[in-house]
Each structure stands twice: as structure tokens, then as C-alpha cells.
Structure 1
């Protein structure tokens, strides 16, 4: 007999980089016939609705984000604040506990997914439901929290080779991550009923096994949870499609750093100049630099005229999957964010990485030094890169005669073939849903 359908709550951290992957998972659950109530800040709902592929099964439940001292008035997500104010938003999230509990009491879900709200397992036990700690960050970075110098001071027995360590400013980059996340994550892992990770064993199996052994809990894997293709606007109707179509196969460099990354003006200009110096056609999709009212305002002097016809700069987020699938695109420069990395793994593009925050640094090391399927842009002591180092990294993989380019292209193709094998990713989803059903049935017996 088919197991009974369940009702899941989802309560992710108030960042679109977390809410959207949670919603991708919600879509997979809804596709299997399950119901989802998605707890979300009021203003964020409108920006998330177009990601909801099953509006009859996935219902948004808006939350009022309380104001706390230090948090800008009206701020509800990390998009509304600088990273230095994240702790205040975390405090505001904790203050929504009464609203979350009222929703649980009224709607009586079977289980609740969370990431940074460490109090969810306690609330779930009080109401006799199961809690799932779902982490969208790489298992590599989660495991490193327990490495020497990490909060628990325990070394993962199967950690990657000694090459994978912080260098230069990386340690400084990770400090904020430790302070804000480690306590929430480790507390949540200890208290939840089951741990779930957005990864697959073919890439991070040894880290998943380590986390399971450390917490003596089952670790469920969802696979990469790639977004559904956006069919609302055909590729040929996208306004950048005509630009891309004017270049040879695999010649265009696409660069994007996600929704959350806002660069300083000098960093932004160094990025633009590095793209220009490659001599290759490029598409750059970024947020406006700090202090500029538009992207164009922040561009280097004379830049637009010099790259006219071969370089296009777009402001804000664009649909990565559509761009990466275009035959003219041959390289993806990105920040190694959880979503971007899976998108480029499943593409045919060469991969150039510029990690900016916390877990991005560690997954970059795995990609470049363990799996050898990408290159990392070298940084200066300032923590940023020069236009020359960006140019050199891109050209090293785009040059068809480059030994490094041949190596990463070959390794990437082999891994993509494994990940794309028939039934692999669907199998992760099937096994995940089956395990959740078993968890709930145990509760009901």
C-alpha cells in the first residue's frame, strides 16, 4: 500500500538563498502528493510565489517579523540589511516563535523543516510532531565545523586531503559564519529527529557519513534539488538571448554572484575590468555596487564603450539555468553558492570560482583541489582579487590547449555523467520522501 500523505511545515532562515531552496524541496514533496505550509516573512511572499509550482498544495503562511533594536525599520530578510546586521535579524526570527507555535497548534502538521531556528525541535516535541534539520549548505562546510579549531574541536576522520585548508583572508571570512551559525546548527542537529542535507553521496558521501556518526542520527540526502525550468518566458524571448546568439559555441563567459552579494565599488570595477581583459565575450549579472544608484553608475570610466558589442552588464538576478544552457556560453564565474554550484555542475560550462562568504570557501576547495573540476581565482592579502588574477583564471580554462583547462573539463564531464545517470536524482527524492513517511508512521504507531 502507498504510505499516507503527510503535511509538512517549512521554516527557513529569512534569506532568499535559503527560502528558495526550501521551496524547491516543497515542490518535490507536493509533486508526490504531500501538503506544505511555508512560513515566510510577509514581504517575501510575493517574491517567492513564482517559485511555487503547486499552489494548491503549497500554502504560504505569512509571519510578522518583530522589530528589534539595531534592525532597520521594515527589514524582514537579509536582502534588506547588510551582513553586519544579520545577528539582529536572527534575534527577530527567534521572536516569531509564538506565531510559529500558533500555526502548528492550528494546522497540526506531521513534521517541520528548519535550519537556523534551534528551538524548533523543542516546539515540535511539545506538539508531538517530528523535526527535520535541513541544511542547504554543503556537507563539506557542515563537517568542518567539527574540525580542529572548530566549535567542537573534533576532527572529521575522513576529511579531504591536507590541501583543503583556509588560506589568507579565508579564516577572517569564516569568523562571522562561526559566530552566527555554529551554535544554531549544532544545537539543531543534536535536538532534531533527523538531519537532511542538500547533496548527494557521489560528491560528499564521506562528509555525510561523518555527520551521521557524530550525531548518531540518520542523515537523509535530497540530492541537489535543482529548480524546475522556467517556462513562463521562452529562451528566445529573453532580452539577452539575441546578444548570446551572436557568438560562437562555448565562447561566452557568464558571471553572477547571486542575490545577496553586494560589492564595494572598487571590487565591482576590478571585476568588470578583469572580464574586459579576457578579450572574450561576456555577460555579467550583478547587483549595483554599494553607494551607486545603478549598475551603470558604478562602471569603470569608458568601460561600456570599450566592450560594446561583446560585453553586456545586467543588474540583478537572472535565470542561471537558461543562460548556462545556451550553446554560446562556455564558462560560469560564480561565488560557489549552494544553488549556483549545482547549476554549473549539471551544465557543460567551465567553472571559475570566487568564494565570498563562509561555506563557499570550503566547497570551493573541494571543487578545485579534491575533485579538480574548477579553478579558483587567487586573492590578494586584501581578501579580494585583481583584474589580472580573474583574467588568468578564466583564460586558463577557456584555452582549449591549456593542460589545466583539459583536466577540469574532463573531470567535470565525468562527474556530470555520473550525476546525470538515469534515475539518480529522482531516486534521491523518492528515497527521501519514503524515509520521511517512515519517520511519521513511527510517530503514529
Structure 2
């Protein structure tokens, strides 16, 4: 029976076991609960403890914990992608699939109206048995879904694709700028590797989108409209956009040590660098990075994990580096409050890997943006930012994908307009225009409100096939 648009929905969230997926699922949950809808959130035990303080509506959002089974090859106690190096995530997908019985038991008991999922491609099979609607909620950009994960691409198991085939856009792809370059083929090679038992990453994600009742993406029509339309046409599914679904700035203040240090520098003069919770640089690239910051002559704060093979950040620093940058440069090996640091008045440039969450935070900040992507989706986000929207500067790479300290320094100076060629002025002006759009009163809330209307229509089997574009 269809629910009236004013009635409240019960939604179960089941994201991939990674911080970069759990976080946006929880942001969306908070938005739904704010409007009175009930959310049951399935996540690993340790993640429950880490995320309970970010549940803004505990009266409506209930966490249900899953025991993540041990899989041979994973370190004992592994529950999320942040616990392991990136090359082991295929084994974590096996662990995800092994929670199926636990998930089924919860869903039979909870009896939700909808289940939102991403990598658990078997959720639609449970839907047909238990009785609920399914939404494949993608927390990566439409750019990365459109070029890499559409049915138009064919990756037969018995014939691995060539580099040229990996980087060639599929038929009908709507952008000439948001593309991969020949030397970046390896960034998509993971798609044809086993990701779980008997399935590749490509098969897992495309099956998730083929079998759902509706596809949803954490993006907006204004920035990725043609790419969203292309995905909708490829899958012939309703497309519901949630907008960026950004969290409110934390109420807790910036840690005193960082606030005091940043307060010591001029307005917009500090460079800030962070590459997310999972990516680990090789030692030579780590050293090129920090030396590139030194070359700029500007103050900087770098927050990265120690590079491969290094026991600590300090052990990996170039000889004499720490002494040369004392007083103006810090390389920190732990977690920092990225959003609060970006909002500090002294920060003038953000050097990021361009993960999708960081991309939105960069667009919402006042800082100039320099991009050093590593993986396929980050590279495509970078092309969207640097080549399509022209709000950022990408660091040049060699044919092997490496960057130099000189190239990084040059990109920072271009973005900061330190060489007088007006690139900095162009990206700054474009950035300011997009930020104005994103912070426009009602922009974010209008997306969520219409998204909920779309869910009601879908629940009543009256899908809004063509998605929605806000006024």
C-alpha cells in the first residue's frame, strides 16, 4: 500500500565497510531523521563506537552492529577498510558478503520500507523475499560511475582489457574533459580484479545498480547533470540525487595546538595538505611531496599517514628537512579536524587527493585548491574540478604517474597566483561562484526534500523516472 507523502518512512542503511562510505550514509541518515523518518543503520561493532557521537538524532537513528567474520589474509580484528592497506580490500568484500545471514535476520525483524546499500549487490535478492524497496546509494561522483561503471563497458574475464580499452570512454559518454589519460589506465585496473568471492569490482557495483529499484548519487544536477542523465539512460532506473549532503561544521573547536599554530600566520598564507584515511604514499613520492612544500617558501601543515615501509613520519622525512622548515612547516602523522582547519582564516590553499568528500569540502571552503589524485575516482573528480569546472589546479604527472617537488611547487604557486599568469585568479573566481551556489539558502534542503518525495513516489510504484532538478 502506498504511503502518503506526509507519512514517515523506515529506512535501513547498509554501507560498504569504509569510513568514506559510512560517513555520507550517516550524513544522509541525519537529514532524513531531522524530517521525522526512522533509520536503522547496520555497521561493524568498532564503527558503532566511533560513529555514535555523530548520530544527531538517536531517538530516530538506531545503530545495529554486525560481527565482521575473519577472512584468511586479513589482520585479526579487521572491520573496515581503514584497518588494512588498500590492496586487501578485496578480502574485506568477502567479509562483507559473509554478514549476509546477519543482515537478513535484521531485515526480517526490522521490516523497513527501504534498504539503502552500495557494495552489497545481494540486497535486492533479500528484498524479493522479505518485501522492501532498494536504493543503490552511491557516495562517489557521477563522473567515476559514468566512465567506468556502466553496462556499455564490457570486461570479459577470459580477456583482460588493454590500457587503451580501460581509458576509452564508453559509447555516449557526455564529457570530453572528464576522462582518463593513457598512463592512468592502471587506476582502473582494480575493476577487473576479484572483489569478493567469484565477482569483480566492476560486476559487484554494476549488479548493485542493475538490480535496485532506484539509483541515487550524492551529487547535484548543477555540477554533474549530464553525467547523471547518462547513467540513468544506461541503467533505465529512476535517478534520485541527494545533493552533496554535507555535515554541519563541528560544534567542537579546533584543537588548541593547531589553532594556536595557525593563528601565528597571515590571512590566507598557510598551505594545508591531507589525503584521506586510507591512501599511503611510497616513500620517494612522500619525500617529493614534503620537499615541494618546502620549495614554496610558504607555511604549511601536512597530515598524512607514514609512507610505505616507514615506521613513522619522522623516520621518512628527508635529511635536514625538519630543521630547515622549523617554525613554518609541520608534517603530522595522525588524524586532524580537516573541515575546521580548512575554515581557519590563515589557510589559503588545500592540497588534496580529491576524494569525493574532500572535493565537496574544498568547494565549500575559501581556500585555493590543488589536486594530487591517486585512484580512478579521484582522478576523474580532479578532471571535473580542474578541467570542467576550472576551480582547481592539478599537479602534473610523468608517464608513470609520479610527480616531482618542482611540479607540486609550481601547481601551488599557480593556484595561489604567485607567478602573475592569472591562473590563480581564474580558479579563485570560478570557485567563489560555485561556493555561492552551494551555500545558497535552501539549496541543500531542497534536494533532500525532493529526494524524500521521490522515495514516496517509488514506494507507491509511481517512480519519477527522470529524476529532479531543483529551482
The verdict on a shared fold, with TM-score over 0.5 as the criterion, is yes
Picking from 392, 403, 424, the partner of 1:405 is 424
- Tell me the SS of whatever aligns to 1:240: helix
Please give the alpha-carbon distance, in whole angstroms, between the structure 1 residues aligned to 2:365 and 2:382: 17
Q: Is the 8 A contact 1:377 1:385 kept in 2?
A: yes
Query: What is the 5 A alignment of 1:149-168?
Result: 151=155, 155=170, 157=172, 159-161=174-176, 163-168=177-182
Query: What is the 5 A alignment of 1:206-225?
Result: 206-225=226-245
1:169 aligns with 2:200: no
**Other-structure match for 2:274:** 256
Query: What is the 5 A alignment of 1:295-310?
Result: 295-310=313-328
Q: Is the 8 A contact 1:255 1:334 kept in 2?
A: yes
- Tell me the SS of whatever aligns to 1:113: strand
Q: Is the 8 A contact 1:118 1:187 kept in 2?
A: yes
Please give the alpha-carbon distance, in whole angstroms, between the structure 2 residues aligned to 1:302 and 1:277: 14
Please give the alpha-carbon distance, in whole angstroms, between the structure 1 residues aligned to 2:389 and 2:304: 28
**Other-structure match for 1:120:** 123
Please give the alpha-carbon distance, in whole angstroms, between the structure 2 residues aligned to 1:223 and 1:325: 21
- Tell me the SS of whatever aligns to 1:388: helix
- Deviations, residues 295-322 of structure 1 (Å, cap 9, x unaligned): 2222222212111111122222222221
Query: What is the 5 A alignment of 1:334-373?
Result: 334-373=352-391
Shift of 1:382: 3.2
Please give the alpha-carbon distance, in whole angstroms, between the structure 1 residues aligned to 2:152 and 2:173: 13
Please give the alpha-carbon distance, in whole angstroms, between the structure 1 residues aligned to 2:356 and 2:38: 25
- Tell me the TM-score normalised to structure 1 length: 0.94
Picking from 279, 289, 292, the partner of 1:271 is 289
Query: What is the 5 A alignment of 1:74-223?
Result: 74-145=77-148, 146=150, 151=155, 155=170, 157=172, 159-161=174-176, 163-179=177-193, 180=195, 181-223=201-243
Shift of 1:101: 0.2
Shift of 1:86: 1.4
Where does structure 2 lack aligned partners over 5 or more consecutive residues?
A: 157-164, 196-200, 463-471
Query: What is the 5 A alignment of 1:63-78?
Result: 63-78=66-81
Moved more, 138-147 or 329-338: 138-147
Query: What is the 5 A alignment of 1:226-241?
Result: 226-231=246-251, 233-235=252-254, 237-241=255-259
- Tell me the SS of whatever aligns to 1:241: helix
Where does structure 1 lack aligned partners over 5 or more consecutive residues?
A: none
Q: Is the 8 A contact 2:151 2:206 kept in 1?
A: no
- Tell me the SS of whatever aligns to 1:333: strand
Matched pairs, number:
440
Picking from 414, 420, 435, the partner of 2:454 is 435
- Tell me the TM-score normalised to structure 2 length: 0.89
**Other-structure match for 2:441:** 422
Instruction: Supply the RMSD in Å over aligned alpha carbons.
Output: 1.9
Q: Is the 8 A contact 2:5 2:456 kept in 1?
A: no
- Tell me the SS of whatever aligns to 1:239: helix
Please give the alpha-carbon distance, in whole angstroms, between the structure 2 residues aligned to 1:123 and 1:303: 56
